[in-house]
């Protein structure tokens, strides 16, 4: 291990899409900076997700403004490795100063001088600013209701790769956001009996009247919404770009043999219990779906757009039996369930960031990424400034705001009054020999 000490104006921690976007904006503004990444650029896309994952948004949308996906139809959905390649290419494009394979282990504010001391796996760094771009999805979360069940394999969706990885037998997938629903669909297509535990969700149509839902959320101002609707804090979004993209339709999944169940409540002696809220959760998802169609129709009428009618989008399949007579308990052994996949989200890990930038609940205290600890910034978090903040296109705009904030602060700091300017002029006009002799 080398122990060199580096001084840098701005240190960015993490080189996922958030770190790459930060580096681009800092470079444009001439802010000297360094990005440290413990693994590789866009590692989460490369190895942190299941094999068949494709982006949830089409290639024209899920990208940064400065580069298109090479060789990909703009309406297609990039595979996870194509997304990782994209960010690597993007970083190369502007020669981003990224050092990979370096873990940041501690950041503390200096008590005797400005800035921060940063401990890393490759030596100590002195930085005036630290931008935290370590991602919103770091630690897989399995809720405490999960029981130790030695007869059943339990994994988080972060550890799921493909159906072949699982033992013979049925699977219970807990959580029906984009990850859970896509994994459940893939397992069912691979011939497995699947139980899917469905909580509160939004489920926009994949496309309506020839426009992808990403377009609709854009023109309707929803990506830019700055505050979450009250009561939506625990609502996930169920969308899929798999197999060319399709609307997530829970009734269709049930028609194809999947058993839908309500929110998972608890485990007792090998029996899982579910809340009696499946019908309500599905109904709310339908409401969300139909509301988007209504808003889209109104937008088309208001703007006089010539987009084809699509009345069949309003046809809802009949309720399957698992919806009208939901099961409230499942004996795992009797049902032959050999695997539980927890698609229940992630939390963050800021144990290395030892600064005063956190609320009592451990969440960063910030305004659009500018934290309460001067010189510390966060980027890439859900709702950092708007709904799109943790998504590919949204993080780029947040990074721009943060880079501009840093550049502005530097400008103020570099201000010199008349006496200082005069002193500097005199110093620069002195012969080199005299300067050296001082």
Ligand X SMILES: Cc1cc2nc3c(=O)[nH]c(=O)nc-3n(C[C@H](O)[C@H](O)[C@H](O)COP(=O)(O)OP(=O)(O)OC[C@H]3O[C@@H](n4cnc5c(N)ncnc54)[C@H](O)[C@@H]3O)c2cc1C
Candidate list 129, 179, 188, 264; residue touching ligand X; CB under 6 A: 179
Nearer to ligand X, 17 or 82 (CB): 17
Considering the complex, what minimum distance in angstroms separates the CB of residue 363 from ligand X?
A: 15
Angstrom distance (rounded) from CA 333 to CA 325: 21
**Residue 134 binds ligand X (CB under 6 A):** yes
- Read off φ and ψ for residue 42, nearest 5 degrees: 55, 40
Nearer to ligand X, 320 or 369 (CB): 369
Considering the complex, what minimum distance in angstroms separates the CB of residue 42 from ligand X?
A: 6
Report helix, strand or coil for 256. Answer: coil
Which residues pair with residue 380 across a beta bridge? none
Nearer to ligand X, 15 or 357 (CB): 15
Report helix, strand or coil for 156. Answer: strand
Angstrom distance (rounded) from CA 215 to CA 221: 10
Q: Which stretch binds ligand X (CB under 6 A): 15-23, 65-73, 140-148, 204-212?
A: 15-23
Candidate list 69, 90, 116, 137; residue touching ligand X; CB under 6 A: 137
Bridge-based pairing state of the strands 194-197 and 201-202: unpaired
Task: Name the region of 98 (left: φ>0; alpha: ψ -120 to 50; beta: rest).
Answer: beta
**Residue 104 binds ligand X (CB under 6 A):** yes
Nearest CA to 354 among 10, 109, 37? 109
CB 11 within 8 A of CB 132: no
Nearest CA to 152 among 262, 267, 274? 267
Annotate each residue in 361-380 with x if it binds ligand X (CB under 6 A) or - if it does not, as one string. -------------------x
Bridge-based pairing state of the strands 123-132 and 116-120: antiparallel
Nearer to ligand X, 221 or 257 (CB): 221
**Residue 352 binds ligand X (CB under 6 A):** yes
Nearer to ligand X, 69 or 391 (CB): 391
Nearer to ligand X, 16 or 369 (CB): 16
Rounded to the nearest angstrom, the gap between the alpha carbon of residue 349 and the centroid of all alpha carbons in its chain is 15
Nearer to ligand X, 49 or 386 (CB): 49
Considering the complex, what minimum distance in angstroms separates the CB of residue 309 from ligand X?
A: 29
Burial class (CB in 10 A: 0-12, 13-18, 19+), 33: buried
Nearer to ligand X, 242 or 272 (CB): 242
Q: Annotate 26-93 with DSSP letters as a single string.
A: HHHTT--EEEEESS-TTHHHHHSS-TT-B-SS-TTTSS-TT-PPTTS-TTS--BHHHHHHHHHHHHHH
Angstrom distance (rounded) from CA 377 to CA 385: 13
Nearer to ligand X, 104 or 207 (CB): 104
Angstrom distance (rounded) from CA 361 to CA 110: 25
Interacting residues with ligand X between 29 and 68 (CB under 6 A): 36-39, 43-45, 49, 55-57, 62
Structure tokens at 200: 């509160």
**Residue 18 binds ligand X (CB under 6 A):** yes
**Residue 13 binds ligand X (CB under 6 A):** yes
Bridge-based pairing state of the strands 139-140 and 346-347: antiparallel
Annotate each residue in 375-414 with x if it binds ligand X (CB under 6 A) or - if it does not, as one string. -----x---------xxx----------------------
Candidate list 12, 14, 292, 293; residue touching ligand X; CB under 6 A: 14
**Residue 341 binds ligand X (CB under 6 A):** no
Angstrom distance (rounded) from CA 213 to CA 216: 5
Considering the complex, what minimum distance in angstroms separates the CB of residue 77 from ligand X?
A: 8
Nearest CA to 380 among 352, 365, 402? 402
Nearer to ligand X, 58 or 320 (CB): 58
Residue nearest ligand X (C-beta atom):
16
Nearer to ligand X, 223 or 274 (CB): 223
**Residue 115 binds ligand X (CB under 6 A):** no
How many CA atoms are closer than 13 Å to the CA of 272, on its beta-carbon side? 28
# binding residues, ligand X (CB under 6 A) = 32
CB 79 within 8 A of CB 51: no
Considering the complex, what minimum distance in angstroms separates the CB of residue 405 from ligand X?
A: 18
Considering the complex, what minimum distance in angstroms separates the CB of residue 259 from ligand X?
A: 23
Interacting residues with ligand X (CB under 6 A): 13-19, 36-39, 43-45, 49, 55-57, 62, 103-104, 133-137, 179, 352, 380, 390-392
């Amino acid at each position: 291990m080398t122990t060199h000490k580096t001084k840098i104006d701005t240190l960015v921690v993490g080189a996922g899409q958030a770190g790459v976007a930060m580096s681009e904006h800092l470079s444009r503004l001439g802010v000297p900076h360094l990005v440290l990444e413990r693994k590789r650029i866009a590692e989460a896309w490369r190895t942190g997700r299941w094999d068949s994952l494709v982006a949830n948004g089409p290639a024209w949308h899920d990208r940064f403004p400065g580069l298109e996906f090479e060789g990909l139809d703009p309406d297609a959905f990039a595979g996870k490795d194509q997304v990782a390649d994209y960010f690597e290419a993007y970083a190369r494009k502007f020669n981003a100063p990224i050092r990979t394979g370096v873990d940041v282990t501690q950041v503390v504010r200096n008590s005797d001088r400005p800035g921060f001391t940063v401990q890393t796996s490759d030596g100590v760094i002195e930085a005036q600013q630290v931008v935290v771009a370590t991602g919103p999805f770091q630690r897989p979360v399995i809720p405490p209701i999960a029981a130790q069940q030695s007869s059943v394999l339990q994994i988080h969706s972060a550890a799921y790769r493909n159906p072949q990885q699982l033992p013979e037998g049925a699977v219970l997938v807990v959580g029906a956001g984009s990850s859970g629903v896509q994994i459940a669909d893939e397992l069912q297509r691979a011939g497995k009996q699947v139980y899917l535990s469905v909580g509160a969700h939004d489920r926009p149509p994949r496309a309506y009247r020839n426009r992808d839902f990403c377009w609709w959320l854009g023109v309707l101002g929803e990506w830019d919404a700055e505050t979450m609707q009250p009561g939506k804090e625990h609502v996930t979004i169920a969308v899929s770009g798999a197999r060319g993209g399709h609307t997530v339709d829970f009734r269709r999944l049930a028609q194809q043999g999947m058993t839908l169940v309500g929110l998972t409540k608890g485990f007792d002696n090998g029996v899982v219990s579910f809340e009696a809220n499946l019908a309500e959760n599905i109904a709310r998802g339908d409401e969300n779906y139909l509301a988007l169609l209504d808003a889209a129709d109104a937008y088309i009428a208001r703007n006089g757009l010539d987009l084809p009618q699509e009345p069949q989008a309003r046809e809802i399949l009949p309720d399957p039996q698992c919806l009208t007579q939901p099961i409230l308990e499942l004996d795992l052994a009797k049902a032959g369930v050999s695997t539980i996949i927890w698609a229940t989200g992630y939390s963050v890990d800021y144990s290395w960031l030892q600064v005063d930038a956190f609320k009592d609940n451990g969440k960063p205290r910030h305004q659009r990424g500018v934290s309460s600890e001067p010189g510390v910034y966060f980027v890439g978090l859900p709702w950092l400034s708007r709904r799109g903040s943790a998504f590919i296109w949204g993080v780029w705009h947040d990074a721009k705001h943060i880079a501009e904030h840093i550049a502005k602060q530097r400008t103020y700091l570099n201000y010199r009054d008349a006496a200082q300017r005069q002193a500097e002029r005199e110093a620069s006009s002195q012969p080199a020999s005299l300067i050296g002799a001082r």
